[in-house]
Chain A
């Protein structure tokens, strides 16, 4: 699982090689090992890593870069707590600790192969989805059509603008919650926009965003004729270890860190509604 020779809880030292300001409260950090040996570990889309600044705290983050990025790992992080606020004060050259990868990835090399894929994301929920999109785009011949539906509170809250305007341009459908000056795209919540776009059900859907959005998106997809077995999502609960020991991220007998974070939506019917 890991690269630590001691215990899984002992991290490696990483260094921040680039910081990109995405929105007023989201920055994307590029991280490599401080000893010059490149990426801290290999991962698959949907997997997570524990990042920490000793003295501030340690928390789990989804890896937003694709494994096909051989240079570094990227993390799109929203400032919303003690550690994330601190991470936002860091500069290129600062060090953090990193351990992982944790969790079950999206089934990009089996179930999703050859499929048309519909990516649906809300807000910072675009972070883990970006890893899958870039993986699929880098291995384009392995997959069918792709569509991306992405919504945020406002135009200035849309992350990964560079890629939205270039790589994703022809496949992406954007929406913002409220009408605003200069915005020519759709206005409205993601579930409603999804129904408006009226996708055919010959696709596998990947959904990530706030829990409330996931629930409404799933309802919309079912209304559109999708089956739960065609929809994958990723959940998030508080974690301390990352590998099913510390006992806090369970939903029923599933640990989100180990049995998730990626779940097929029919699996959600077998676990308690406690997330």
Chain B
């Protein structure tokens, strides 16, 4: 274990950026906190108290827009210039335990069968420094998904206690980074302090409204057709305005589109986030397999609660971060969906 004073963090970040590592940390801009590239200018607005960034750290492993290649067509000849794979090391600092799990969910999709090489390269360059949730919010329900907000995962875990950061490396990547910045850290044996902090977090989490257990046992792949055909989706989806906010702020929403941008001399092919909430998501020349918003709404929740678990050994693709609970303009969210299935029809 190591320690560093909160006030000394900018110095640590500066050391890393000087040595060629990008640092992304939660920074306040106006009334929003998001992970931003660390520079001297943002040092004063570093915000480790706000629990959740508006956007999830998904951006760093699966960017909203990813350039794949440039194509030129001259004299009927197509030439492709492939985008290089990510090769610059970076640190995401202050990732909450739910968001760490969110990246693990993405890993289970993008690092397997077949491996997405753009994702793999970017993921390999990143070190995740997680931050325990000393002040969980009413909208948090990570515990329902067996995520322990007191024991953050990632490469290095941090507990912020009295303006001092308790630093514990968890992986080889974390150990390497720790070695690199060792001269800025103090050795620490305050295990009791961390344990007390963990206990405090766990008590707070247990007192949250959604921690009393969401009826997730209702969502099992063997009941796929039963849940899919349930009449409750009609009522649940009625208020959905198809804005797609839930999919963009979600740390695990992973669907992408592949598009071309004609830049005049060349065509840029890129992939970008897409949303199953949009009507053209499944539109084909011969028709659309999901014609109503009910079908699109159902797809999103079925994917999180039944389809993804069916493909990934029971792992739900919701991490209980509560962003959709906060941000949906129609007050729809996954908690409402899960709870509505509590009683069998």
Point out residues on A near B: beta carbons under 8 Å: 1-2, 6-11, 13, 34, 54-58, 80-81, 84, 93-97, 210, 236-238, 240-241, 243-253, 270-272, 274-275
Known: A54-B260, A80-B286, A250-B303. 5 other contacts (CB 8 A): A8-B116, A54-B73, A95-B73, A241-B258, A246-B255
Question: Would you call A13 and B78 a contact (CB within 8 A)?
Answer: yes
A214 to chain B, nearest CB (A): 13
Known: A246-B256, A246-B257. A237 touches B109 (CB 8 A): no
The 3 closest A-B pairs by CB, nearest first: A247-B255, A54-B71, A253-B310
Residues from chain A with Cβ under 8 Å of B295 in the complex: 274
Question: Would you call A34 and B73 a contact (CB within 8 A)?
Answer: no
How far is B116's CA from A2's CA once the two chains are assembled, in angstroms?
A: 12
Give A259's nearest chain B residue, CB to CB: B311
Question: Would you call B254 and A245 a contact (CB within 8 A)?
Answer: yes
How far is B82's CA from A10's CA once the two chains are assembled, in angstroms?
A: 7
How far is B114's CA from A8's CA once the two chains are assembled, in angstroms?
A: 8
How far is B222's CA from A253's CA once the two chains are assembled, in angstroms?
A: 11
Question: Would you call B285 and A81 a contact (CB within 8 A)?
Answer: yes
Residues 79 to 102 of chain B near chain A (Cβ within 8 Å): 79-80, 82, 85
How far is B306's CA from A236's CA once the two chains are assembled, in angstroms?
A: 22
Q: Chain A contact residues: over half helix, strand or loop, or mixed? A: loop
A171 to chain B, nearest CB (A): 28
Question: Would you call A240 and B257 a contact (CB within 8 A)?
Answer: yes
Question: Would you call A7 and B76 a contact (CB within 8 A)?
Answer: no
Q: Chain B contact residues: over half helix, strand or loop, or mixed? A: mixed
How far is B113's CA from A1's CA once the two chains are assembled, in angstroms?
A: 9
B104-128 interface mask toward A, CB cutoff 8 Å, 1 = contact, 0 = none?
A: 0000011001101110000000000
Give B282's nearest chain A residue, CB to CB: A238
Residues from chain A with Cβ under 8 Å of B45 in the complex: none
How far is B274's CA from A84's CA once the two chains are assembled, in angstroms?
A: 23
Question: Would you call B221 and A272 a contact (CB within 8 A)?
Answer: no
Q: Looking at A2, A6, A210, A244, which has the most chain B CB atoms within 10 Å of its CB?
A: A6
Known: A243-B114, A252-B228, A274-B289. A9 touches B307 (CB 8 A): no
Question: Would you call B118 and A245 a contact (CB within 8 A)?
Answer: no
Question: Would you call B284 and A237 a contact (CB within 8 A)?
Answer: yes
How far is B283's CA from A237's CA once the two chains are assembled, in angstroms?
A: 9
How far is B228's CA from A7's CA once the two chains are assembled, in angstroms?
A: 35
Is B2 interfacial (CB-CB < 8 Å)? Answer: no
Give B73's nearest chain A residue, CB to CB: A54
Question: Would you call B82 and A6 a contact (CB within 8 A)?
Answer: yes
B23 to chain A, nearest CB (A): 27
Question: Would you call A237 and B80 a contact (CB within 8 A)?
Answer: no
Residues from chain B with Cβ under 8 Å of A10 in the complex: 68-69, 80, 82
Residues from chain A with Cβ under 8 Å of B255 in the complex: 246-248
Question: Would you call B76 and A95 a contact (CB within 8 A)?
Answer: yes
Residues 200 to 227 of chain B near chain A (Cβ within 8 Å): 221, 224-225
Give B229's nearest chain A residue, CB to CB: A272
